Chains A and B, each alone.
Chain A
C-alpha cells in the first residue's frame, strides 16, 4: 500500500535544543499534512504542504516538502515542554488520511 514512514519513532530532546522528524514515502505524494497529538489527546491539524520544495513556518516549527515530493520534515527549534506529544505526517488521498507511525517527542527540562 501507499504508506508513509516516519523516523525516528521516539525523540528525547533537552529543553532548548532543536530536533527534526522525517516522513518518507516510496511513491510521489500529492500533498502531506502534519498533525500533533498531545498525550491523551486527539490529532490536531498543523499544516499542509502541496508544492515541491515548499517550506512553511509556524513560529518555532519549520515544515518542508522534498523536491521530489517523496519526503517531508518537521524541524522544531528551541524545544519547549509544550512541544511534548506525537507528531504525525499523513497523506491525504481520496477522502481519507493515511498516517505515518508518528514521532513521539519527550522533552527533558
Chain B
C-alpha cells in the first residue's frame, strides 16, 4: 500500500539555524499538508498546498516558514530561523482530492531545537 514518507526521522538543530524537512507524498495525490504536534498536545494545521501554491495556512505559519515542491515527488517545509518553541513532531500528509477527503499522514520528523 502506498505511503507518505518523511526524512529525516529526527533532526536536531541549534536555535537560529535553518532546517528543511522533506516529504514524499503518495504519488497520485494532489493536495499536500504540513501539521505539527508539540509533545503530548494535539495535532495543529500549518499549511495546505495545491497546484504549486499555498491554498490555506494557519496563524502559526508565519514568515519564518515556507513550503516548496521542488520536483515531481518531494514536498518540503523550511523553517528559516528556528526557535526553541519550534521543537515538535512535524507531519506531512497528502490526499488525492481536497475538501473533506481523508488525509494520509507520514511517520513524522521530530525536530529538536537546542
Contacts and interface: CB of A to CB of B under 8 A. Distances in A.
Contact of B100 (A37, A42, A92): A92
A96 B107 contact: no
Given A42-B107, A43-B105, A95 B42 contact: no
A46 to B, nearest CB: 9
B42 A99 contact: yes
Contacts of B107: 41-42
Q: How large is the interface on B (under 10, 10 to 19, 20 to 34, 35 or more residues)?
A: 20 to 34
B24 to A, nearest CB: 14
A102 interface: yes
The dominant DSSP class at the A interface is strand
A50 B45 contact: no
Nearest to B107: A42
Task: Give the contact-size bracket for chain A.
Answer: 20 to 34
B103 interface: yes
Interface of A: 30-31, 33, 37, 41-45, 48, 50, 88, 90, 92-102
22 contacts: A30-B100, A31-B100, A33-B100, A37-B43, A42-B108, A43-B43, A43-B105, A44-B105, A45-B102, A45-B104, A48-B100, A48-B102, A88-B43, A94-B56, A95-B55, A95-B99, A97-B35, A97-B43, A97-B45, A97-B103, A100-B42, A101-B41
